[in-house]
A and B are shown apart, each in its own frame.
Chain A
Amino acid sequence: MIKKLLELDGIFKSYPGVIANSNISFDINVGEVHALLGENGAGKSTLVKIIYGLVKPDSGNLLLNGAPFKPGTPSEARKAGIAMVFQHFSLFEALSVAENISLGMDHPPNQKDLGEKIKSVSESYGLPLDPAKTVGALSVGERQRVEIIRCLLQNPKLLVMDEPTSVLTPQEVDILFKTLLKLRSEGTSILYISHKLEEIRKLCDTATILRLGKKVDTCTPKNTSTKKLAEMMVGSSIKAPKKINKPAGRILLKIENVCSLSKSQFGTPLTNIEFDLKQGEILGIGGVAGNGQDELFAVLSGEQISQKGSISFNESNITKFTPNQRREIGLLSAPEERLGHAAAPNMSLIENILITAEQSQDLVSRGFIDWKKSKAFAEKVIKEFDVRTPSSKNTAGSLSGGNLQKFVIGREILQNPTVFIVNQPTWGVDAAAASSIRQALLTLSESGAAILVISQDLDELLEISDRFAALNEGTLSQIEKTADLSFEQIGLMMGGAKDLEARNV
């Protein structure tokens, strides 16, 4: 007999201008892995926050074990047996593992007992952790373990996991899945939030699909094709970007033996990075977040000057060039963080144009800004990249993630870069926008530009890149032709061989 653990009935939540959840009902059974599937903006996060007591629904009811359940705070939710692993970890870098775990518990034991407990629980679930270590010194995968152990120590009835695999290598994903299946066998229910279809088909017993705040369906993913799931999630079929195979041209960018220290206390220094970037090719750089991606980007964009090694562009040395000198010769870049790095949130789109397009579009003469020209270029980007905004005078911060990302990428592409460096081009962007951004990158490469894409989305890299390499702890793996690679090999490249051996013991 199937027992229901949590029943959601007609959950409704609106924010000004958006309905995040509209009349959502489904049940989570005891001892099942239930997937919550949907795109960015489908309403998954809001729903989860309601279950965890961070947000109150406008209407609708929750039943836990048949009894009404209205968590007012996360602590009430925890008391009722609900635990949550966040997508953006709620960890404190300067505090130790034990302190971090203690903060997430309602009645933490003293630090010494807790340390012992952390050790025993983490080992029994195959997730070893040192309780005395400072969290800032841990890898992303280890940080997720801290979150998971924090939850497990509460003996939860329902474990909520928000996009847990986006920060893991394929091998680490396997370890996580083993842990989750062990938990299920012990009777714990898991609400598993993801937009990765293969994963869900492999792991989950049931899947509820959300789109634009509404429930589309609840189904058994093992019996549903990936294509069907994708259609339910996205609503219409998204056309996949077209890739034309073409021979790569001459070397445009040559990186030799580059080393760079990280500016942030807990960052990853780069050691001996070497690669070439050829005309008309896309080189994809994968890897788990926090393995030197930001540092690599900074060295290439010119925000950070490498301590050692050289960067040459068209055979001339540009190692010490500033960002603007690099732009002048046609080396453009688009950083990962849209708000605050690629764009200034409180400034208008016209002003945001000036951040990178000053020289190529000749927007400034003798120090004075030509606002008319800036506006014209802003409007060109808006039009050609289908950026949805009332006007070019709106601030960058008022745009949705996908629209701002299209603006940021479009701003660079319309300057006709010779070499284009982009970090996480489609991070947190809806499927339609992601697809159009990928298509734009492919079109740019067909026109002869060399493109470097740094991304944590393996599917994306496999789709658009000609060659692939992975960053691991600040070093770059061998570079391989994408067409020849298997997921297994990619995992090995991302993990770094040493690391894997240790884990397989």
Chain B
Amino acid sequence: MDFSSINPALLIASLMVSATPILLAAIGEAVAEKSGVLNLGVEGMMIVGAVVGFIIAVNTNAPLLGFICAAIVSGIFSMIFGILTQYLKSNQVATGLGLTLVGLGLSALLGRPYEGMKSPTLRALDIPFLGDIPVLGKMLFSHDLMIYFSVFLVAIVWWFLKFTHAGMVLRAVGENHDAAHALGYKVVRVRMLAIMFGGATSGLGGAYISLARVPQWTEGMTAGAGWIALAIVVFASWRPWRVLFGAYIFGGVTVLQLNLQAAGASIPVEYLSMSPYLITIIVLVIISSRGNQGAPASLGRPFHASS
């Protein structure tokens, strides 16, 4: 095999590309979970985003519009989960799973006419000066808008949760919904907004797969990315910058594995392609063995205002 074909600068650059869908989905889910909602429908919301983004981008030839529509539609789609769990008090685990199953079905239905087509992709930004730095320029400053947006989003979420009053209310709701209610905060409303945010960013993540990473539409193309995003939230102990770190590590593993495949490593392809999932399991094991620190205390618990 030929390791010389693996270029470290390209490796980092493609790492960011492959991490971004998971990063986008995970940062939204982290916010939802911080508010006390466990939404297992990330995979479903991502794939809906992927198909909607693709359809819009192909038909309008405007990938950016595709991303925007993906965020909106997935945000609306997540409201099914929101209404069921927050207003109709359904079980969050079952509802989240249902959302994933419906999302997969719905996307397959919508995307069928688009199978095999190619989509327009986002242009890489032309960043003057920075992009011209040797190695570093190619590594960090020659990406498309969404990659920078995803990092920006992490910063915003971090700032929001740490420094704003609304962020503090969100954390309080996730920590103790009864107490938050007793103080007069609208638990259900806060959670609905958090769920919708999670849906929108998952949609963006999904669209990034179908519009930038691959870029075409195939049924079930998220291939577990949503579940990996859920694992990364746990890995990150619900902290935004650690979500970024986790997603990039994961992106690194995926890219390395793909590079090894391309370089003709002697390990069979099937074993390389299962490695991201195995590594996710290993990471979960390491995290759980030192205790799930930082989990919001009301995570997954149903809230009913008794008074």
Contacts and interface: CB of A to CB of B under 8 A. Distances in A.
Contacts of B172: 92, 95, 99, 103
Nearest to A107: B165
Contact of A55 (B175, B297, B307): B307
A99 B180 CA distance: 13
Contacts of B168: 95, 99, 102-103
B175 A94 contact: yes
Contacts of B223: none
Contact of A74 (B169, B175, B182, B297): B182
A371 interface: no
B88 interface: no
B178 interface: yes
A73 B184 contact: yes
A53 B184 CA distance: 9
B183 A90 contact: yes
A134 B294 CA distance: 13
B179 interface: yes
Interface residues of A, number: 21
Interface string A40-60: 000000000100011100000
Given A90-B176, A94-B297, A102 B183 contact: no
Interface in B157-180: 165, 168-169, 171-172, 175-176, 178-180
Contact of A75 (B169, B184, B294, B296): B184
Given A90-B183, A103-B168, A54 B307 contact: yes
Given A53-B184, A95-B172, A90 B179 contact: yes
Contact of B182 (A90, A95, A108): A90
A104 interface: yes
18 contacts: A74-B184, A75-B184, A78-B184, A86-B182, A90-B176, A90-B178, A90-B179, A90-B182, A91-B179, A92-B172, A92-B175, A94-B175, A95-B171, A95-B172, A99-B168, A102-B168, A103-B169, A103-B172
Contacts of B185: 103
Interface string A62-88: 000000000001110010000000100
A503 to B, nearest CB: 27
Contact of B183 (A49, A55, A95, A104): A104
Contacts of A55: 307
Nearest to B291: A265
Contacts of A54: 182, 184, 307
A93 B176 contact: yes
B interface SS class? helix
A89 interface: yes
A103 B176 contact: no
A103 B183 contact: yes
Contacts of B178: 90
Contacts of A102: 165, 168
Contacts, number: 52
Nearest to A103: B172
A89 B179 contact: yes
A49 B180 CA distance: 15
Interface in A432-464: none
A32 to B, nearest CB: 26
Contacts of B297: 93-94
B165 A108 contact: yes
Nearest to B163: A111
In the complex, which of the residues A78, A93, A103 has the most CB atoms of chain B within 10 Å of its own CB atom?
A103
A227 to B, nearest CB: 34
Contact of B307 (A49, A86, A93, A104): A49
A428 to B, nearest CB: 15
Nearest to B175: A92
B191 to A, nearest CB: 16
A54 B183 CA distance: 9
A75 B175 CA distance: 20
A399 B185 CA distance: 30
A93 B175 contact: yes
Contacts of A104: 183
Contacts of A86: 182
A74 B168 CA distance: 18
B91 to A, nearest CB: 13
B170 to A, nearest CB: 11
A195 B2 CA distance: 81
Contacts of A108: 165
Given A90-B179, A95-B171, 19 more contacts: A49-B307, A54-B184, A55-B307, A78-B184, A90-B176, A90-B180, A90-B183, A92-B176, A92-B180, A93-B176, A93-B297, A94-B171, A94-B294, A95-B175, A99-B168, A99-B172, A103-B168, A103-B172, A103-B185
Contacts of A74: 182-184
A104 B183 CA distance: 6
Contacts of B171: 92, 94-95
